Amino acid sequence: MAKENGRNVVLASAVAANFGQFGARIAISPFVLAIAATFGRSKSEIGLVLTLLWAIYAVFQFPSGVFADRHGERRVVLLALGLATVGALLVSWAPSFPVFALAAAVLGSGAGMYFPAGTALLDRRFERTGQAFSFHSAGGPIAGLAVPVGASLVAARFGWRIGVLVGAAAAAVGFVAILFAMGPTPAARPDMRVRDRLIPGTAFEILSRPRVAFTTLLGILGMYVFQAFVSFFPAFLQEYHGLSTEGSSFATGVAFVLIAVSLPVVGRAGDTFGHDAFLFVPFLVTAAGFATLLVPVGRPAIAGGVLLVGVGLTWGGVLQSRFMREFADDERGTGFGLVRTTFVLLGSVGSAATGFLADTGGWPLAIGVIVVLLVLAAGLVTANRLLGLGL
């Protein structure tokens, strides 16, 4: 019982940490127009900085895993949350646009270092990793609902700079949770030379493994969809369905709540019945949700689509568990960090592509591509099982 309680404390601390790093990033989103006005810049220039943040977030996944293997997961997690807190504080303080861009880069590097180390930390302690990883992942959607709302309320009275501090506070709380609730973690490979793991040959060897390559492809497709959802779901509801800003924000918040609630359920089901089945089902459910939202029949389509999208965007924990089973104990930090860098970086094109397609071909084209990619992902999982490919 004591051991079980200890694992639960570690899991709760990791959820708080993931809440913090995600919250620090997403706290900027409500204030894009205000930030542009403050620095006299266009939305495109602010958007470019946010793209930089996400790119750096992706790039730092790989070294995070390497450093976790070499120095222990707890040290890397604390460094990551510390950098995220400092980055958010700098964003709030930034006196000029170049400093704001530098602050966003610091924030992205800290947030990017967190996830591989945090996931490897949990992998050491849990056998049913799908459920544990899903609880861990749920910290992000919870932050996606709570932090922007809290930051907006604070900013309404004190301005956007103080609003961004809500994200800094979230990251700081995660730092404190890990600092006091979790003891030191021994390094998996204390004698490893870091530069040997960061060379291109090592990366190619890991990514060229057939099962790793297949799962990475699924991750790229899934990340494209998630990035499109995070970046443009409210705008889609406003322009295509005519919802108000408040109405679209509420609908997006409902979807985030459904994601947070459903993630652990899907993760546990994946542990019990097999990972591939609970990649296939969420991919199809999400596709059905976006397809439903293309039906212009008003509130019933909106409600049904939001429900399906929220329940469907829940493959994260199962995908992470599928990755982890492909890596030996002494390479899980490195391996998972590498694949995270790969599929987050390549999948992040979902934001730019969705915006471009919406501008040039309209929302039916942009959302239609999302549906096609989800059906493709589900089809790949099915083909692997039916054809016995062993991927």
Task: Please report, as a single letter, which amino acid is at residue 119.
Answer: T
Alpha helices, H only, 274-348: 277-293, 299-312, 316-324, 332-347
| Closest to 66 (Cα-Cα) out of 183, 174, 202 | 202
Tell me which amino acid residue 312 is: G
> What are the C-alpha distances in Å from 200 to residues 69, 196, 210, 263, 328?
18, 9, 18, 34, 20
Joined together, the tokens standing for residue 362 give 């309209």
- Report the alpha-carbon distance of residue 81 to residue 139 in Å, rounded: 14
- In angstroms, the CA 173 to CA 305 distance is 34
Strands (E), 50-123: none
b/e burial code for range 128-142 (CB count within 10 A of at least 16 → b): ebbbbbbbbbbbbbb
Residue 56 has what pLDDT?
87
What pLDDT was estimated at residue 285?
A: 95
3-state secondary structure of 193: coil
Could you give the 3-state DSSP secondary structure of residue 325?
A: coil
* pTM for the full predicted model: 0.75
CB of 341 within 8 A of CB of 203?
Answer: no
Q: Tokens representing 133?
A: 């990883």
Q: What pLDDT, on a 0 to 100 scale, did the predictor assign at position 190? A: 60
Q: Is the separation of the CB atoms in 126 and 138 below 8 Å?
A: no
Q: What pLDDT does residue 55 have? A: 80
> What are the pLDDT digits (tens) for 115-134?
888 887 787 777 666 677 77
Residue 227 to residue 232: CA distance in whole angstroms: 8
Domains of the chain with bracketed CATH? 1-181 (1.20.1250.20), 199-391 (1.20.1250.20)
Contact 135, 267 (CB under 8 A): yes
pLDDT in tens, 21-46: 988 988 887 676 678 789 988 766 77
Share of the chain above pLDDT 90, in %: 29
Q: What is the mean pLDDT of each run of 10 residues along the chain (391 residues)?
A: 63 89 83 80 72 82 76 87 95 93 93 84 72 78 81 84 93 91 69 62 82 93 88 78 75 84 81 81 95 83 91 86 79 76 84 79 91 96 87 79
Query: Which residues are CB-neighbours of 265 under 8 A, at least 6 positions away?
Result: 134, 314
